[in-house]
Amino acid sequence: MVVAKVARQKLPKRSYQYESGCVYAAPSVVWPGNGTRPARIGRLRAVHAPAVDSLPTAHVQAGREWKDIKLDTGAQFCVAGESWKKLGRRLSSLPPVDYVEGFTGAVAKVEGVWRFEFTTQYGQMMPVDALVVEGAADEFLLGEDWMLQNGVKIGFTSCEMKWPSGR
């Protein structure tokens, strides 16, 4: 009896690499003139949008509360409103900008960077560092910075956001 060893050919592994389709302007520098340091103003979005109501949302647990966060592939940074401060902890790192120019062109002051530890409805841990801004009380935008860092894939037909675990 002759036993022949057959080599199995490995199938190519499917992978996905998120690439940004947006081009953001560099932060502008404004000199207040009152002896303070210059302020950096960064545009939150690559384009102006009238509202964020039409953005897809994710249902996540923050502490003991379930909240909806908006997935905004056009937002340069993750941004949280003031009411989110109690659900995260402030980091000592400096924010990339001092002010963000929002959806309608209004400028909002950045209070700092907070870390939020979310759990998805599937039990996946989701740490997010976000800029907390004045005036946007209840909004939380998951921006392109987090999506790029975590290799996110958004399936619009399946209404799912996926990213590889272990990053």
42 occurs within a structural domain: yes
44 occurs within a structural domain: yes
Q: How many domains does the chain have?
A: 1
pLDDT at 9: 67
126 occurs within a structural domain: yes
pLDDT at 129: 97
Residue 109's nearest CA partner among 94, 98, 95, 122 is 98
10 occurs within a structural domain: no
CA–CA dist 65, 48 (Å, integer): 31
Mean pLDDT in residue range 13-40? 65
Handedness of CA 69, 150, 155, 54 (dihedral sign): positive
**11: confidence class by pLDDT, cuts 50, 70, 90:** low
Mean pLDDT in residue range 80-97? 94
* Residue 85 belongs to domain with CATH number: 2.40.70.10
| Containing structural domain, residue 102 | 37-48+56-162
CA–CA dist 148, 80 (Å, integer): 18
Residue 59's nearest CA partner among 132, 119, 135, 141 is 119
147 occurs within a structural domain: yes
pTM assigned to the model: 0.70
157: Cβ–Cβ under 8 A, 6 or more apart, which residues?
Answer: none
Model confidence pLDDT, tens digit, residues 110-166: 999 999 999 998 888 999 999 999 877 788 999 989 998 988 888 777 777 888 864
pLDDT at 47: 46
